[in-house]
Amino acid sequence: MTDTDADAGWFSPLAAEEAGRDATDAARDRIAEDEADRPLDWSRRAVEAGFADSTDEYYDRLKDATTRATREAVRERERADDAQLIHAVRAMDDSERVANELAERAVEWAGSLFDDVDSGIDGAREVAAREPESEVERRAVSLAARAAELDDERAALAETIARVAPAVAPNLAEMAGPELAARLIALAGGLEPLAKKPSGTVQVLGAEDALFAHLSGRAPSPKHGIIYTHEYVRGTRPEDRGSAARALAGKLTLAARADHYAGERRAQLHDDLRERMATIRARADDDGSDAPGAGDE
Amino acid sequence: MSDAVLPDGVERREIDGERRLATRGEPVYGEPTADGWRAWDPERSKLGGMLELGLETGLSGGETVLYLGAASGTTVSHVADFAGPTYAVEFAPRPARDLLDAAAPRDRLFPLLKDARKPETYAHVVEADVDAIVQDVATRGQAEVAVRNAQFLAEDGRLLLAIKARSEDVTADPDAVFEGALDRLREAYEVLETRRLDRYHEDHLGVVATPR
């Protein structure tokens, strides 16, 4: 009986192959990239499949393969740099914008050809699945398919950002989430420029229009820029949002500095911010219990 | 008194004039050593704290271990000193670089750069029916991670888990956080023993559990 794919260990495809110089490279790749639905008794299976003569030899080979795979994966993840992250986040935004534009055009067109066409990307996906019956239908369906593919690309870019950001800036990515971390780095023009900015600047990154309106005397100072998307700001009641944005920006600045200058995770930073946010949010509870007639929620 | 629960290969030794937990192996993080034994600092290691406090870990030495959240390898290096094949899973590249150094002189310590929340990405490497899972991951959803990894554990195996309250919710009372985590844990495990690790690790709960 042969293994099904789901029940294949890292060594399974290798066992049949001739052990050669390439075998160790292949083993490393399989450790790094393969998956399985469930663990099995791999050492016994490896010996049965002839991959190793004994359990001891199996563990020796496993040691070699895991060490190589992990060393190379570490090197690769550490090589990821902020410039790549900036490209990725800008490409993601472009993909999203163009996907929406194309989808809108495609469903508008399709609406004149088919019944029941929904709007947006979802509508475009439905159109893309149709069987066209004329030259014109073929073009509309094809355009919808491009929009759907572009939306897939946006999703793939988001996944890449989620993987790369923690490698480029572990503290910033943990604190802000990978996407916001990437946007802050992109807005600042890199991790180093971000690390060198005062926290008041980080607080309003992405709110340049509002900031210049304020500086020319036309508006109040903005309380927050892109960091508004962070749950600590958005999820805090409006009267405390300024404090929340200031606290978050302060710690994000320290996180960017730790990432740029040290590159190591600083647990204390994250604990400090959580405590600070808990204090700020507790104000709402205090006010709620003091104010007569105010609800608990 | 708590000597009774120490696994073979873990001893209390006189090091720098103090009786301390110790294992035998290559030093990893500048810990004090004496006669080939390296001090195991319970303040730097949740599992060390659990052993020092006398929890019944069920470890006797020589077992197969899956270690989740190996970080720089501080604790897992001690585990590999007394256990058998030991799989060390760590997701962050920077600490994993140190983990590689800790693993290098230990021929049955297998380092893996993998996400403990996604067991399918290492189920083709880590064997089934391990005797113990040691878990120390400081992310949200610590109980969820333990539940997802239950598939690796032998029927009579042990989960040795350190839950960090602050990783779940810093605003909540630690006791409430622990209760919530234990409820989730009970969906896959029977909880045998719990103990606050505060003497060594503030707002941490040590848990010993076995699959249901």
> What digits encode the pLDDT tens for the residues A75-128?
877 666 788 899 999 999 999 999 999 999 999 999 999 988 999 999 999 999
Furthest-apart CA atoms within chain A: distance in Å: 80
Collapsing DSSP states into helix, strand and coil, what is residue A246? helix
CB contact under 8 A, B93 and A77: yes
Q: Are residues A184 and A285 in the same domain?
A: yes
Nearest CA in chain B to A259: B94
- Quote the ipTM score: 0.92
List A247's β-bridge partners, or say none: none
d(CA B163, CA B143): 8
Residue A297 lies in a domain: no
End position of a domain, from candidates A45, A79, A113:
A79
Report the topology of domain B41-211: Rossmann fold (3.40.50)
Residue with tokens 């294992």: B23
For residue A176, give every residue at least 6 positions away whose Cβ sits within 8 Å of its Cβ, in sequence order, or none: A184, A227, A230, A252, A255
Closest CA to B113 of B69, B48, B151, B146: B69
CATH code of A275's domain: 1.10.246.90
**B85 contacts in chain A (CB < 8 Å):** 59
What is the number of other CB atoms lying within 10 angstroms of the CB of residue B130?
25
**pLDDT block averages, 10 residues each, chain A of length 297:** 64 64 78 92 93 94 95 78 90 96 95 92 95 94 96 95 90 95 94 92 88 84 88 90 93 94 84 92 74 39
Range of the domain at A222: 169-290
Domain positions in chain B: 41-211
Chain B residue whose CA is closest to A58 = B108
Boundary (domain end) residue, out of A115, A133, A164? A164
**C-alpha A54, offset from chain centre:** 42
Q: Partners of B196 in the beta sheet? A: B205
Take residue A227 and report the two structure tokens written for it: 């960091």
Size of interface A-B (CB pairs under 8 A): 103
**Length of chain B, in residues:** 212
List the one residue out of B183, B189, B184 whose CA is nearest residue B153.
Answer: B189
DSSP H helical ranges for A130-266:
135-168, 170-176, 178-188, 191-195, 199-204, 208-215, 231-234, 238-257
> Is residue A99 situated within a structural domain?
yes
In a domain, A4, yes or no: no
3-state class (DSSP) for residue B211: strand
Angle at A22 between CA A17 and CA A25, to 5 degrees: 110
Is there a contact between A70 and B107 if contact means CB atoms under 8 Å apart? no
What confidence tens digit (pLDDT) does each residue in B165-188 have? 988 887 789 999 999 999 999 999
Quote the pLDDT of residue A80.
63
Q: Answer whether residue A3 is part of any domain.
A: no
In Å, how far is A274's CA from the nearest CA of chain B? 6
Mean predicted confidence (pLDDT) in B150-154: 97
Same domain, A281 and A178: yes
- pLDDT tens for B50-66 read 999 999 999 999 999 99
The chain B residue lying nearest A166, using CA atoms, is: B92
Residue B201: closest CA among B69, B28, B99, B48: B48
Sheet holding B65-68, edge to edge: B109-113, B86-90, B65-68, B130-135, B153-164, B204-211, B189-196
B171 to A278: CB separation less than 8 angstroms, yes or no? yes
Give the residue from A124, A139, A164 where a domain finishes.
A164
